[in-house]
Amino acid sequence: MALINLSTRDLEAFLALAHAHHFTRAAEKCHLSQSAFSQKIARIEQTAGVALFERSTRHVTLTPEGEVFAQEVTRIQQDLQHAVSHLNELATRRIGKVAIAALPSVAAVWMPRVISRYRAANPNIRIELFDTLAEGGFALLREGRVDVFIAAGADVREFDVTELRNEPFHLVCRPSHRFAGKRSVSLAQLKGEEVIHLARSSSVRQHLEAAGATAQPNALEVEHLATVAALVAQGLGVSIVPELALFHFERAGLVCVPVRDRHLRRPIILARRKGKALSVAAKAMVEEILSEARQAKR
């Protein structure tokens, strides 16, 4: 059996003739000269191995084999049309889906504006946002359930990583606190202060310890930043939190003072699966995230 090599144009030509029963009119519909069209049909029949049309100069009709083929080709043609237009819709972001995981602070501070802009530009793309801690976010990314994960820390070899920001930490305290008026503080100055900490599993705590700010034995430890803010507001101590977490404390009427320490910085990274391309929809989302991160740096 001969090698088949039919193009979409061939299928169109075949169906056009099957429908028009007339070479000249079908040729026009295909934007071809009538002669070229005739040759094309002849070639198609040759690869088919059987006459598909019965021609007398007056009438053109499908042979029984042609009718069978026409039915099958009609379906195939539609499927292909559909596949290509589907692709096109994905390419132009008229349909699609993007899933992002982000640390809670990022999800709360950056993502609302990011998603707002993205949605305005791509109203029909479905967006999934997971606000998770480090562990859960990397798991989602590993399983392919999210396109990207906005995390903290840079020692991730499993994924492709882009640094979005390297944020400083702030001391947070009540307005009446002795640090409240300072332009900045150093870790050394905190000696003897009651410091309220997040749980050991949090990225914030891990960065603090890496910078040498170990917790006192009897220090308070809680899970959520909102709780930290409430405890600080109550005067039970101060805390040290990264910039992206400050909104919790500003809301509570507390004061933030930058901590000056070269080592106490938290890199915010955008992690992607290695060797796995982003969808068009996800690429556009990453663009928005990068744009937001650039703005935040200023």
- Residues forming contacts to a copy of itself in the complex (CB under 8 A) are 1, 4-9, 47-51, 54, 56, 59, 61-65, 68-69, 72-73, 75-76, 79-80, 82-88, 90-92, 275-280, 282
**For the chain, how big is the Rg over CA atoms in Å?**
32
157 belongs to the binding site for DNA (CB under 7 A): no
Helix (H) or strand (E) holding 77: helix 64-91
Question: Which does residue 48 touch among a copy of itself, DNA, none (CB within 5 to 8 A, set by kind)?
Answer: a copy of itself
Identify residue 59 by its one-letter amino acid code: H
Closer residue to DNA (CB): 34 or 74 = 34
Least separation in angstroms between CB 40 and DNA = 5
CA-CA distance, 195 to 172, in Å (whole number)? 10
By C-alpha distance, which of 166, 131, 117 is closest to 267?
A: 166
Closest by Cα among 252, 108, 109, 100 to 172: 252
H/E stretch holding 64 reads helix 64-91
Cβ closer to DNA: 16 or 102? 16
Nearest distance, CB of residue 142 and a copy of itself, angstroms: 16
Near DNA by CB under 7 A: residue from 1, 4, 31, 155: 31
The CB density around residue 3, as the number of other CB atoms within 10 Å, is 5
Among the candidate windows 26-34, 114-122, 172-180, 279-287, which touches DNA by CB under 7 A? 26-34
By beta-carbon proximity to a copy of itself, the closer residue of 14 and 169 is: 14
Q: Which is nearer to a copy of itself, 33 or 234 (CB)?
A: 33
**Considering beta carbons, is residue 36 or 68 the nearer one to DNA?**
36
Q: Does 4 bind DNA (CB under 7 A)?
A: no
DSSP category for residue 50:
S
DSSP per-residue string spanning 105-162? HHHHHTHHHHHHHHHHH-TTSEEEEEE--HHHHHHHHHTTSSSEEEEE-S---SEEEE
Binding status of residue 84 toward DNA by CB under 7 A: no
How far is Cα 246 from Cα 228, in angstroms, rounded to an integer?
11
Interaction between residue 277 and DNA (CB under 7 A): no
How many residues sit close enough to DNA to count as binding (CB under 7 A)? 24
**Interface residues with DNA (CB under 7 A)?**
5, 7, 9, 22-24, 31-36, 38-43, 55-60
